[in-house]
Amino acid sequence: MTVTKCTWLVISVIYVGFFSWYTSFKGPLSQQEIDHYLGTLTATPEELASFRKFMEDDDGDDFVMINIVEMYDTPLQIKGVEPGETTAEVLAKYMEYMFPAMLSRASHPVFQGQSVSPRVMDIMNAVGMETWSGAAGVRYRSRRDMIEISTNPMFTGRYEFKVAALAKTIAFPVAPFNYLGDPRLVLALLLGFVGCAVSWWRARAALSSR
C-alpha cells in the first residue's frame, strides 16, 4: 500500500471513529425508557409533566442547553462548603462530576461568558430577572445522554453545590443546533488538509524522482 493510500485509510478510520462516538445513533427515547426515567425523578407534577414532554418530543439528535446564571457573592454554607471558599470554588465541586460525565458522552460546553453589563439590555414581563452573572451553552449528544447524566446517583450529592453557588438560574434546551465550530466539521477539515498535504507531497516527490 502506498503512503498516500495508507494516509487516507488512517484518516478515514480516525474520522469514522470520532463521528460514531460524537453522534447519537440510538434514535428517540422509547416509551419504556421514558417511564423508567420518570420513575427515578422526585419533582412536582408540573415539573414531571414538562420533563415527560421533553422526552416524548425527542428526535434522537443533539441539542444545546442554554444556561443563564447569577452567582452568589458568598456561597451558601451547606455541608461540604468550607469556610472562606468562593462561589467559583463551590461551583467547581459541582463540575467535578459534570465535566467527566459530559465528556464521556460526547457532551461539552460550546460557549461561556461573563456578563458585561450590570443589568440586562432588554427585559419584558420578567420581574426579578434584571441582573445576571453570565451564560453558557452546553452541547449534549442526545436527550438520553443528558438524562443519564442527571439521573446518576452521583449527581444528587453534587447538585447541592450548584444550589449553594447560584442565586438564580434559567436553563432551557435549544434544537436543532448547527454551528461552524462543530467538531465533526472541524476535524473533517483538519484531516482533509493533512490528507491533501500528504498527497501533494508524495506526488511532488514522485515527479522529482523521474
pLDDT tens digits along 93-114: 999 889 999 999 999 999 999 9
Residue 141 is placed in which grid cell? 449528544
Contact 134, 113 (CB under 8 A): yes
CA distance 65 to 139: 6
Q: Average pLDDT over the chain, rounded to whole? A: 91
Say whether the peptide bond before residue 176 is cis (omega within 30 degrees of 0). yes
29, 57, 63, 20: which is closest to 151 by C-alpha?
A: 29
pTM of the model as a whole: 0.89
pLDDT at 118: 85
> 69-84: per-residue pLDDT in tens?
999 999 999 888 888 8
Of 207 and 37, which is predicted with more confidence?
A: 37
Of 157 and 186, which is predicted with more confidence?
A: 186
> 19-54: per-residue pLDDT in tens?
999 999 999 999 999 999 998 888 888 999 999 999
Asked if the model's pLDDT at residue 61 lies above 90, the reply is: yes
Domains of the chain are 62-175 (3.30.70.100)
pLDDT at 154: 77
> 136-180: per-residue pLDDT in tens?
999 999 999 999 998 888 777 788 899 999 999 999 999 877 777
